[in-house]
Amino acid sequence: MVFENEYVCAFLDIGPVSEGHTLIVPKIHAENLSQGTEEESRELMAVVHMLAPKILKAIGADGYNLGMNQGECAGQEVMHTHLHIMPRKVGMMRTFTKLRPTKEELATSAQKIRSTLESV
């Protein structure tokens, strides 16, 4: 877990495509974005707006991909709305192949991100 408020929680993906790959997940269940409310969608994006630059700073990344798969045919594996923040560094190959970090590597990345949020 790297962030939580009354609307969403954010945690590292266990099958990340890059270091710091974070999922933003609404606490209220909706299978996809269209099933949730407009207010819930705004809150999801507000957290992305706040959290993404903090993740980039923590990881030393230069940019990020923001992703959402909606429906099995689009690659949605978990049937609960969520957004992916996938940090990228200049020169890094832009791939969506899942990495296999150790629990220790994930814990280190999560701590880096949490340390940037102490002032939030």
List strand residue ranges (DSSP E) for 1-120, in order: 3-4, 8-12, 22-26, 63-67, 83-88
- Asked if residue 87 lies in contact with residue 55, where contact means CB atoms within 8 angstroms, the answer is yes
Residues belonging to the active site? 82
Cα–chain center distance at 69: 13
